Amino acid sequence: MIHERTLQEPHGMSHPITQPLRPLTDAERSELTRISHAPSERLNRHQRAVALLAIEAGKNLTDAAKAAGWKTPKTVARLIRRFHERGLVALDDLPRRGHPRSYGSTERTRIVQELRRHPLRKEDGTATWSLATLRRALREAPDGLPRVSTFTILYTLHEAGYSWQKSRTWCETGKTLRKKDGRVEESYDEYTQEKTAVIERAYLIGEQLGFQVWCEDEAGPYQTIPQPGSSWQVENRPARQAHQYLRGETAKLLTLFRPATGELRAEVVQQSTNAILHPWLQRELTDILKQCPPAPETVPTGRRWQDWDIYPAAEQLDRFFPPVRILLIWDNLAGHKSHSLVQWCAEHGILLLSTPNAGSWLNMAESVQRIIKRRALQGYHTYDVEILKQWLTDAVAGWNRRPTPFIWGGKRHARRDRAYARRHRVGGSGATAAYVIPRRLRSVRYYRKAA
């Protein structure tokens, strides 16, 4: 009986903390809490964060180890010592033993330096570096690395933050190219940051303040040509489209979109000139104003013109115009700056928020227009523009039967950024790896000895 109690006692007794955990800062506590609740974090980082939070909550080493899923409280004691020495870095694994690096910091810096050098088509035989061409350049350089391998180059570049990517069409918000006097000049919108910030603020809190936030855009032209797309067909019998076709008339889509509810107001036209666009806008906005709640008699802070207008002397607008009821986000086009339209909107309590130059990504109407185009035209072809216009009209009606609200940013955006920062995607599925997996070189050939 005594022998049995002796065996069970070490497992049931609590271990006191010989080295207490120092007080956590607000930033450390916030990061530990985030890691402990994040479902996409590594297990070892999650366990260490849970253990530290348990110690801070007043638990002993044994209870903290159980909360983290560990068998021995000594693991928690070692973690506390590491945390005192290294801070949040203690959540990561210690460097493991292994064969020493063949290439030190000097050689790795030389590899990155060669990558940053733009290759010469005549000398290097390429316009962009690949692993093979980069290895050849490093081996042939006088101060290069005569025995470096593509495997070493790959790992060195990944450690330096480089990855193999496709080129993308990208425009820097606020900058545009204009042709003047036969020369191409770069133009920059000096209010880019202010416009971006106020539009994002409208998406995030505009509806909460009592406004109706709408986006406006004109999509098209949509041509009467075969539209690419995928569909379910009998195996080995894909849907076929004519190789030759005749171009006919085009159609455009005038769009008003409310992200908070997903409501879509649209009209299909053949042209989107000011004579067509402005009357349609005034008609639709008048109908929207009838559905808006009445403006408050005393305008609170956050609903004034000066709270949303970014230009100087904005505080004077509250003296001349009625309270703001609608926030309208649209592109920075000349037709949107017509004095008569701007004056009409101001007199009806509609505050206009224009995107900066090359900033159409801030307009959520662009997203819903792509969806409407895909649902209406994907995989089909017609020579009659009236049929094409009817398809677009029907797609808009189908959208409004089951509208989808749009949310700017959101938790998914933050989750995706964190995942990209710590994971490496594996092709062929949704799998990811915690470290880079080098590809097998296809250029390697294997030879068998002759019999």
Per-residue pLDDT reduced to its tens digit, 88-142: 888 888 777 767 777 788 888 999 999 999 998 888 888 889 999 999 999 999 8
Lowest mean pLDDT among 153-157, 213-217, 225-229, 360-364: 225-229
**186: pLDDT confidence band, cut at 50, 70 and 90?**
confident
pLDDT digits (tens, 9 = 90+) for 389-412: 898 999 999 999 988 888 887 676
pLDDT digits (tens, 9 = 90+) for 349-363: 888 888 888 888 888
Instruction: Kindly write down the DSSP assignment for every residue of 17-79, as one continuous string.
Output: -SSPPPPPPHHHHHHHHHHHH-TTS-HHHHHHHHHHHHHHTT--HHHHHHHHT-S-THHHHHH
- Does the pLDDT at position 430 exceed 60? no
**285: pLDDT confidence band, cut at 50, 70 and 90?**
very high
192-230+243-401: CATH architecture = 2-Layer Sandwich (3.30)
- Count Cβ atoms within 10 A of the Cβ of residue 39 and give its class: 0-12 exposed, 13-18 middle, 19 or more buried: exposed
- Does the pLDDT at position 222 exceed 70? yes
Quick one: pLDDT at residue 421?
65
Quick one: pLDDT at residue 451?
46
Q: Whole-model pTM?
A: 0.59
3-state secondary structure of 301: coil
Quick one: pLDDT at residue 427?
54
Residues 92, 96, 98: CA angle, nearest 5 degrees: 160
- Residues 224, 382: contact at Cβ < 8 Å? yes
Contacts (Cβ under 8 Å, ≥6 apart) of 343: none
Nearest Cα neighbor of 396 from 215, 288, 264, 259 is: 264
- Alpha-carbon distance 227 to 251, whole Å? 14
**7: pLDDT confidence band, cut at 50, 70 and 90?**
very low
Quick one: pLDDT at residue 2?
37
Q: What is the mean pLDDT of the chain?
A: 81
- Does the pLDDT at position 435 exceed 70? no
Quick one: pLDDT at residue 444?
39
- Does the pLDDT at position 449 exceed 50? no
Element (H, E) at 154: helix 150-159
Comparing 441 with 433, the larger pLDDT belongs to: 433
- Does the pLDDT at position 276 exceed 60? yes
**First CA to last CA across the chain, in angstroms?**
75
Q: What is the mean pLDDT of residues 213-237?
A: 84
- If you ran DSSP here, which 8-state letter would residue 334 be given? G
User: CB atoms < 10 A from the CB of 413, how many?
Assistant: 10
Element (H, E) at 284: helix 274-291
Alpha-carbon distances of 13 from 16, 31, 124, rounded to whole Å: 10, 31, 70
Comparing 69 with 414, the larger pLDDT belongs to: 69
Among 182-191, 218-227, 239-248, 285-294, top mean pLDDT goes to: 285-294
Encode 46-72: b = buried (16+ Cβ within 10 Å), e = exposed.
bbbbbbbbbbbeebbbbbbbebbebee
Token pair 């769009």 in the structure block, residue: 255
Alpha-carbon distances of 239 from 226, 232, 267, rounded to whole Å: 12, 9, 30
- Alpha-carbon distance 407 to 413, whole Å? 10
Quick one: pLDDT at residue 1?
39
Quick one: pLDDT at residue 103?
78
- Alpha-carbon distance 202 to 221, whole Å? 29
Quick one: pLDDT at residue 114?
92
Nearest Cα neighbor of 426 from 441, 417, 418, 436 is: 436
**17: pLDDT confidence band, cut at 50, 70 and 90?**
low
Quick one: pLDDT at residue 440?
44
- Does the pLDDT at position 64 exceed 50? yes
Quick one: pLDDT at residue 134?
93
- Alpha-carbon distance 329 to 367, whole Å? 14
- Does the pLDDT at position 150 exceed 60? yes
Rg (CA), the chain: 31
